[in-house]
Amino acid sequence: MSWTNYLQPLSKQYHKHVPEEYQKYVPHLWILGAGVIGIYVLRGLISYFRILREVRGLPVKHAFLPAYEQGLRARVPHIPYILPVKDFYSRPEWDRFEKPRSDLLAYTVATQNYAIYWTANPYTAQHVFTKTSLFEKPVFNARYQAAKKFGHNIISASDGDDHKRHKSVVRGCFGEDVFRSAWEEMDNTIEMLLDEDKLREGGIMEDVGVTTIKITYIVIGKVGFGYDIPWETPRSKKGEKMGFVESYEIVDRTMLYQFVLPLWIMKILPTKELRRMGDGRTAFLAYCYEMARGKRAELTALKEAGEKSKAPVDLLGAMVHAQLVAEEEARVQHGHDSVPNVGLKEDEVIGNMFIFLLAGHETTGHTLAFTLAQLALHPEWQEEVYKEVKEVCGDERPSYRDVHRLPLCLAVGLEAMRLTDIVRQLFKVAKEDSMLPYTTWNEAGEVTHREHFVKKGSVVFIDTPACQLNPFHWKDANDFNPRRHLSDDVSRASLNNAEVPFVAFSMGPRQCIGRRFAEVEMICFISIILSKYTIHPVPIHPGETKESMKERMIGSALEDVTMTPGKFSVRFEKRH
């Protein structure tokens, strides 16, 4: 009897709808299907055992599904070995490294055919960020693919020529005029805050995280797009055209959905909220293209009229100007008018503006919220900052000319970011086989420096909060001490003046290109507010302890696209 005859009864039972003359082929299809599944499972097992060999010698956690993407890991249940969220994420952040006594952990994920590593060592992070011959950006990752929803951009650009092309144009946007404009708009928005929230004579800022996000949202609206954003967003009525400010707010407040959901899903699902998100995205993109084309036409007309155009002080205009400069330089270099693939395409300009909207205000807004919380809990640092501002500015209001003379104001913002990092994780993929440095320690705290062999294709995650709370590198790591970011002569705060690599803005050629923009916003906000007011926590009951207030104001933060503050209030008290 043929081996296929054993499957004939099964074929007839489950495939009665198959014509009789084809019944004889059904067993073969069963075998073929089983073979394909078997090969797939076998390949997965071989890959899994290969990865187990690669990670030998390190503390290892196992999972069937990946559970490391921020925004996701705070929303799904912890299922051991299947979706082990708590293995990839802990609060306090240093805990998952402290228990195995290693600042390098390995993970195996059955559904991914490469080894995954997490480091909490800032020097290992520096090695990964700066050794561009060994590590590169994993643009295949879902988050970077999602970042292209509005157009290819500097975040989603692969290392090498693609990134250089974006950076050559984007970098040209961030000049002194844009930084000065950022300061002036932050100053104007602070005045708006004091009037709208009735804080001019002192009072309570009710929801600090929501308020600081609104502040940076207004600043980037003006500096980014050249629009005056009101404190309260106007709403269009049914049948009316949605305005730019309304569409801008919708996209901003639904960022996670904008990343995850395609536009057609938003359009067809029968929920008013999702349709509004889709309408907001459509309108926002239309306005962006209209503004970019209008600015290009305006600058081109000035050039044709023989007038030398100065770069606009809004980021969109500055990017269009930088693009025109790149095209002109290419024409001069190549000697003819048509030079393809120079600078950025139109949709790439819009894609980069979307990234400015996301990275240019949400991260800074949340950092300012945590800064206010830390200052409220540490009044001694308020007085240190006030002393610095008075020494530099006297009785005058701080202005952009003072930006380099207020190092402690920047250091306060950096320290708040160190203690509560906003971005949470950065990662690279190994381009070549190489050695990855790390450390382990014993019960007595004696450190041993080691290296682990990392295969090409492995992914290395930088746990930025854990790197910045690593007690073997940061003295009194959990203490709020802004002076750790100042150089010996305390003349200027800098990411590079701390004794330990500060990884929150990344490092190397992919360091956050808007870093200085964020620094200017922080210095302006901190110096102006503390020159006029003292900041105090608002207890929720008489006798609430400082530790309880700290947990409520800072420990209540939750992961979303970025680390988002919980709801808390502070009280402004006017200085006399």
Determine the longest span between alpha carbons in the chain, in angstroms.
Answer: 102
What is each CA distance from 423 to 254, 358, 561, in whole angstroms? 17, 11, 8
What residue type is assigned to position 470 of the chain? N
As a residue count, the chain comes to 576
CA–CA distance, 24 with 20 (Å, rounded to integer)? 8
* Three-class DSSP category at 340: coil
CB-based burial, 159-179: b 16+ in 10 Å, e otherwise: beeebebbebbbebbbeeebb
Closest CA to 279 of 235, 215, 317: 235
Within 10 A of 340 (CB to CB), how many other CB atoms are there?
A: 5
Confirm whether residue 467 is marked as ligand binding: no
Helical residues (DSSP H) of 226-314, grouped into ranges:
244-253, 255-260, 263-268, 272-304
What separation, in Å, do the N-terminal and C-terminal C-alpha atoms of the chain show?
102
Backbone angles phi, psi at 52, to 5 degrees: -60, -40
Say if residues 203 and 197 touch (Cβ distance below 8 Å): yes
* Three-class DSSP category at 149: coil
Say if residues 409 and 419 touch (Cβ distance below 8 Å): no
Contacts made by residues 236-245, CB under 8 angstroms, sequence distance 24+? 241/283, 242/279, 242/280, 242/283, 244/283, 244/284, 244/287, 245/221
Closest CA to 120 of 416, 468, 479, 364: 468
Q: Are strands 563-564 and 533-537 parallel, antiparallel or unpaired?
A: unpaired
Task: Write out the binding residues for heme.
Answer: 512
Annotated binding site: 512
